[in-house]
Amino acid sequence: MPQLNGGGGDDLGANDEMISFKDEGEQEEKISENSSAERDLADVKSSLVNESETNQNSSSDSEAERRPPPRSESFRDKTRESLEEAAKRQDGGLFKSPPYPGYPFIMIPDLTSPYLPNGSLSPTARTSNKVPVVQHPHHVHPLTPLITYSNEHFTPGNPPPHLQADVDPKTGIPRPPHPPDISPYYPLSPGTVGQIPHPLGWLVPQQGQPVYPITTGGFRHPYPTALTVNASMSSLLSSRFPPHMVPPHHSLHTTGIPHPAIVTPNVKQESSHSDIGSLNSSKHQDAKKEEEKKKQPHIKKPLNAFMLYMKEMRAKVVAECTLKESAAINQILGRRWHALSREEQAKYYELARKERQLHMQLYPGWSARDNYAGNYQGKKKKRKREKQAGEGNEHREYFPNPCLSLPPITDLSAPKKCRARFGLDQQNNWCGPCRRKKKCIRYIQGEGSCASPPSSDGSLLESPPSSPSMISPSPSSKESKPQTEQMQPLSLTMKPPPLLSSSQHQHLSMAPPPPLALLDNSGAGKTSGSAHNGSLDPSDVSSSRSTGSASSRPISACHSHSLLPSSAPTQPLSLVTKSID
């Protein structure tokens, strides 16, 4: 470890990644210290971090490791600290047993450089060289092991015992998180059919062997830590790097398997067409081809935590709600996301972090900007959503789904956050916090329409969790969170549907009360709330995005009516939707 900075950082350590969780990254560190929640988080993270990392550290000298975004680094360092602590606390140490069930083995690849961008080794070679660590029982691509994410999915063969659980009872085959539904995070271009539809499929070194499998339940596997990642990355680099993007050395290995993130722009068969094309056009086409060549395949952005979560959960939601419309589903997912416990979210954040890291390594030169409309051929135009000022939101009640059955809150009276109410165009009218992407004062306070009735609306079922931050005044409360996971499903499940009314209540009842959250609330306000753990506080997050949340969220409707006690008022209710009444 590069220096753990010692103890100093314990607390902070936890935070680092937390940033993601926190809405603004504000403060809180201090507060959090005490909170057990933090610890939990820290633990989680620690768990996430693989020991290997520590090992790596030793090797850390290599810059490669550091290469990763500063953030990550900081994160690591911090995490390490936290990790260490956690380790002490938990196992006493290393993850003797995998923190997460899914974690089959620990890889301890040799970081030394192979992967480094500079490095030019062939993956295989590297792996071979490297530290053995545990290998996957079955035939896994050598590289695969490197990535600890989860093996489950891939393992065609037999999953490790602990993994068994994930195995689909029916088939007996280890199943991917959400079976059929989930598509690889990075869909491959049509041509690449062979690829595995695994959420993190693109990580898979070779077909069938996804590197980052996601478990159904959520990512239960410990994330390998940078180490593994690096290793995996290196392998990936060598194997998948798009030539153009790849530094010379990397180009060496081309499996030919496109990285999920890489999408060939509509390219599709144009090239072939061109071939076919008449001579006349040949010139033209040639030109085109060349251009295309120039144009690099479209490399997609790495998925963020929420996107990963969506991928994983979408199928469930669809099944539960029978909805198909993505917009509606996404709303639900958004709520569920907020409902997730910190731990759960942490998993996704961690995973996302890794993805970003990997992505960076794979495509060093890539910039999100590259994907902006027009920057690459594939993309057509940007969708600009300029919703006209006020209008947009208000009306927009996009609510197709019965599950969501809540009445769209179309009318003005409906409480909305400034962004929703006024729209982007009229930001002048927004309250300060909204402008800053913070919690809407008006909305919360209840000024005008903003005020909150919404909170009341039961929609909160899920929300409770969402606002955990608010809620939990006491650290202990945090612990309660776990429920959320279980709960989640409930919340959404509305199958009965459309007419849930009575049933809804039931669900509601089932739904986890907002246990955590409500209490604390705002006072602490965002600061405090979020603060405690920093990162995870969903509420903050939501708040940050004043946008939609405030506005009606039909979804919640699914369940119901509000459980929330008025107590919560201060909180942003972002999640709350209008009650059916």
The reply to whether 21 sits near DNA by the rule CB under 7 A is yes
For residue 532, give both structure tokens: 């405690």
Q: Strand pairing partners for 298? A: 263
442 is an interface residue for DNA by CB under 7 A: no
Q: Which of 93, 372, 412, 476 binds DNA (CB under 7 A)?
A: 372
How would you classify residue 411: left for phi > 0, otherwise alpha for psi between -120 and 50, otherwise beta?
beta
Could you say which of 131, 167, 307, 319 contacts DNA (CB under 7 A)?
A: 307
Question: Is 73 in contact with 5 (CB distance < 8 Å)?
Answer: no
Report the alpha-carbon distance of residue 470 to residue 530 in Å, rounded. Answer: 8
Residue type at 418 in one-letter notation: C
103 versus 337: smaller Cβ distance to DNA: 337
Question: Would you count residue 304 as binding DNA (CB under 7 A)?
Answer: yes
CB of 525 to DNA, least distance (A): 16
480 versus 542: smaller Cβ distance to DNA: 542
The continuous run of DSSP H or E covering 298 comes out as strand 298-299
By CB under 7 A, what part of segment 155-174 binds DNA? none
49, 121, 182, 470: residue in contact with DNA (rule CB under 7 A) = 182
Taking alpha carbons only, the member of 291, 269, 201, 295 closest to residue 240 is 201
185 lines the binding site for DNA (CB under 7 A): yes
CB of 158 to DNA, least distance (A): 27
* Residue 354 makes contact with DNA by CB under 7 A: no
Cα 47 from Cα 42, distance rounded (Å): 8
The DSSP code for 174 is B
The count of C-alpha atoms lying within 13 angstroms of the C-alpha of 156, restricted to the half-sphere facing its C-beta, is 10
Among 62, 549, 560, 571, binds DNA (CB under 7 A): 549
Applying CB under 7 A, the span of 54-62, 138-146, 347-355, 482-490 interacting with DNA comes to 347-355
Angle at which helices 342-362 and 70-90 cross, to 10°: 140
Q: Does 267 bind DNA (CB under 7 A)?
A: no
Q: 535 and 342 in contact (C-beta within 8 Å)?
A: yes
**Dihedral over Cα of 461, 466, 470, 474: its sign:** positive
311 binds DNA (CB under 7 A): yes
Instruction: Verify binding: residue 371, DNA, rule CB under 7 A.
Output: yes
Subset of 47-76 contacting DNA (CB under 7 A): 69, 71
For DNA, the binding residue among 289, 295, 505, 545 (CB under 7 A) is: 545
Binding span for DNA by CB under 7 A among 97-105, 176-184, 240-248, 556-564:
176-184
Distance of closest approach, residue 55 Cβ to DNA, in angstroms: 25
Residue 383 binding DNA, by CB under 7 A:
yes
Contact 76, 70 (CB under 8 A): no
**Contact between 269 and DNA per CB under 7 A:** no
Based on the number of CB atoms within 10 Å of its own CB, is 324 exposed (0-12), middle (13-18) or buried (19 or more)? exposed
Question: Which of helix, strand or coil describes residue 262?
Answer: strand
User: Is 114 or 218 the residue whose CB approaches DNA more closely?
Assistant: 218
Chain residues 470-529 in contact with DNA, contact rule CB under 7 A: none
Name the residue nearer to DNA (CB basis): 161 or 180: 180
- Asked if 243 touches DNA (CB under 7 A), the answer is no
- Only segment of 146-154, 166-174, 302-310, 563-571 that touches DNA (CB under 7 A): 302-310
d(CA 504, CA 491): 10
Q: Which is nearer to DNA, 30 or 324 (CB)?
A: 324
Choose the stretch contacting DNA; rule: CB under 7 A; options: 43-51, 83-91, 108-116, 380-388: 380-388
CA distance 40 to 28: 16
